[in-house]
Amino acid sequence: MKNVYQLLDLKGQTAIITGGAAGIGLQMSYALGEAGANLVLASRKIERCVEVADKMSKELKVEILPVQCDVTKEEDVDMLFNEVMKKFGKVDILVNNSGTSWGAPALEFPVNGWKKVMDTNVTGLWMMCQRAGKIMAAQDYGRIINLASVVSHVGALPEHLDSISYTTSKAAVAGLTKDLAVKWARYNITVNAIAPGWFPSNMTARSIKEKGETIRKHIPLRRFGGDDELKTAVLFLASPGASYCTGVILHVDGGWISV
């Protein structure tokens, strides 16, 4: 029987985190790096990735590869995996954290806003899953963790979130996660999702500023998520200890989904 330290140990593994240099992505990158994984930080903004990679490599004593990647561009996704395989020769963990939103009332929602969100949150995520899945299937091992949301399974009052494209995209992420979990189980690939509630970030800053008190009152714990409150969730789902968990949507939301 392995002890809990062995079950959560990621030493020698390679983890890709899209959007891993900022916000909740940075929090999850630290979690995997602290457990010993070598990291690939992917983002459209390479300067931030380079800056964070330099800082984290000194703190964590793991190898960190910063890569510029727009997940909506197939050539960028291919280039990312080529660079990862050239440097590390494998992909053990993929965290699909890149995402975007567009706010507008549903009756007036523009088609270009709809397409932008779907391209990033669904199509880009799918391309990352497929590329990683091919490598993981050949290895007979893999952990894929997608970022869903509390709004993957429930509607959102416009007083809380007025973005029909975002809520729809995150419902799609939950469905994709469950379907891939079933399809890829035979390759020893687990596919799970984390569904965060409201965490302060660049993407949520405006909503929290304008609607913060209304949102907070709807959260049973009466507060937003903190700087450390996604770390153990992503570490568990990425770890050897989660080998019998697949198709799971893990809510980290202060109780929002239970209201």
The mean pLDDT value of the chain amounts to 96
| Among 5, 30, 141, 166, the one annotated catalytic | 166
Mark whether 30 is an active-site residue: no
pTM of the model: 0.96
User: Is residue 166 assigned to a domain?
Assistant: yes
Please work out, in degrees rounded to the nearest 5, the angle formed at the alpha carbon of residue 257 by the alpha carbons of 252 and 259: 130
User: Is residue 2 assigned to a domain?
Assistant: no
CATH number at residue 76: 3.40.50.720
- For the chain, what is the domain count? 1
Task: Give the C-alpha distances (Å, rounded to integers) separating 27 from 19, 56, 86, 228.
Answer: 11, 11, 26, 7
**Confidence category of residue 243, pLDDT binned at 50, 70, 90:** very high
User: Is residue 5 assigned to a domain?
Assistant: no
- pLDDT on residue 130: 98
User: Is residue 73 assigned to a domain?
Assistant: yes
Range of the domain at 48: 11-258
Angle between helices 164-184 and 111-118 (to 10 degrees): 30
SS3 201: coil
Taking only the tens place, the pLDDT of each residue in 172-212 is 999 999 999 999 999 999 999 999 999 998 888 888 988 99
